[in-house]
């Protein structure tokens, strides 16, 4: 059970920061794609984060190898985490990012549905469902036009993205309902990093990815951002939030990520920021506010 039933200012502030980081990660991955193939990027990110989380845990005295009945749920969460990212990157060979994000962000609804049976103390009120639906409409307002484009074989990638959303929700719920919810965030994260560091390079080899093919300072800087800021700092913070706050309320904030990703593209890459971006941002923020009203 969560320590708190509502999100306070600390949780809201951290979620906005994390969503901005995860949104900007989309831009950073584009930079790194110029020199490292996608699945290898994800694998190297996990490998680097394993080292940093281990050092951080040693400094803070966090016991990562203590017997505490978390091995089985930890391996399950790690496998789901690796499958999520493996499918996410693989799907983009068949579908576009704008189509894929619509299917990927069905995950918060899956978390909410799972909570009905698995987390009765975090049940959703009607207003929360309405708020999440409005936030999803904001995502559709920004990316929904891509659904009208000719499909072809894109349904394969769309299905992969939907499965990635299932694994994303499964990871979150596994952590929340198992012994993992009682351990340090560093240990929660370490299970997922270790498994993904092993599984993702195997996926990359299976798909014949070239790996590191054009390393430049910009490519290495992009990978460093993913390791230090995303996979270490933001994920430790995210798992701390999962431990202490209702996961259904936290998940509603995830709709900010794709919209802030477009904003980051406009700021960092000079991509056009159309009125639809600001309409989407307004709908998402309103939906989040409705979903998290006390």
Q: Are the beta carbons of 174 and 113 closer than 8 angstroms?
A: no
pLDDT in tens, 10-62: 999 999 999 999 888 877 887 888 899 988 998 999 999 999 999 999 999 99
pLDDT of residue 6: 85
Q: How confident is the model at residue 4 (pLDDT cuts 50, 70, 90)?
A: confident
**pLDDT above 70: residue 165:** yes
Half-sphere exposure of 160 (CA within 13 A, CB side): 21
Distance CA 161, CA 101 (A): 8
Classify residue 13 by burial, with Cβ atoms within 10 Å: 0-12, 13-18, 19+.
Answer: exposed
pLDDT of residue 195: 95
CA distances from 206 to 40, 90, 160, 200, 222 (A): 11, 11, 17, 10, 24
**Residue 212 dihedral angles phi and psi, to the nearest 5°:** -90, 115
CA distance 196 to 83: 8
pLDDT tens digits for range 208-224: 899 999 999 999 999 99
**Half-sphere exposure (Cβ direction) of 81: Cα atoms closer than 13 Å:** 27
The least confident of 210-214, 226-230, 269-273 is 269-273
pLDDT at 260 over 90: no
Those residues with Cβ within 8 angstroms of residue 248's Cβ, 6 or more apart along the chain or in another chain: 111, 112, 115, 119, 122, 124, 128
């Amino acid at each position: 059970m969560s320590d708190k039933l509502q999100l306070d200012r600390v949780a809201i502030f951290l979620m906005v920061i994390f969503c901005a980081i995860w949104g900007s990660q989309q831009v950073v991955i584009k930079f790194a794609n110029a020199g490292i193939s996608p699945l290898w990027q994800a694998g190297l990110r996990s490998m680097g984060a394993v080292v940093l989380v281990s050092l951080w845990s040693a400094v803070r005295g966090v016991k990562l190898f203590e017997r505490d009945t978390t091995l089985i749920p930890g391996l399950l969460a790690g496998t789901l985490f690796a499958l999520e990212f493996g499918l996410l990157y693989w799907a983009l060979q068949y579908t576009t990012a704008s189509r894929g994000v619509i299917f990927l962000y069905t995950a918060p609804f899956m978390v909410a549905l799972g909570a009905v049976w698995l987390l009765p103390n975090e049940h959703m009120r009607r207003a929360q469902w309405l708020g999440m639906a409005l936030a999803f409409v904001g995502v559709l307002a920004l990316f929904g036009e891509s659904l009208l484009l000719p499909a072809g074989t894109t349904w394969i990638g769309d299905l992969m993205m939907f499965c990635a959303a299932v694994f994303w929700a499964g990871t979150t719920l596994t952590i929340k309902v198992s012994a993992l919810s009682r351990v340090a965030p560093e240990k929660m994260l370490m299970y997922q990093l270790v498994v993904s560091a092993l599984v993702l390079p195997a996926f990359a080899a299976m798909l014949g990815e070239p790996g590191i093919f054009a390393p430049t300072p910009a490519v290495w800087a992009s990978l460093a951002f993913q390791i230090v800021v995303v996979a270490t700092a933001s994920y430790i913070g995210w798992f701390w939030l999962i431990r202490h706050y209702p996961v259904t309320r936290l998940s509603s904030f995830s709709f900010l990520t794709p919209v802030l990703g477009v904003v980051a593209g406009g700021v960092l890459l000079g991509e056009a920021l159309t009125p639809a971006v600001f309409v989407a941002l307004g709908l998402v923020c309103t939906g989040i506010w409705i979903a998290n009203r006390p």
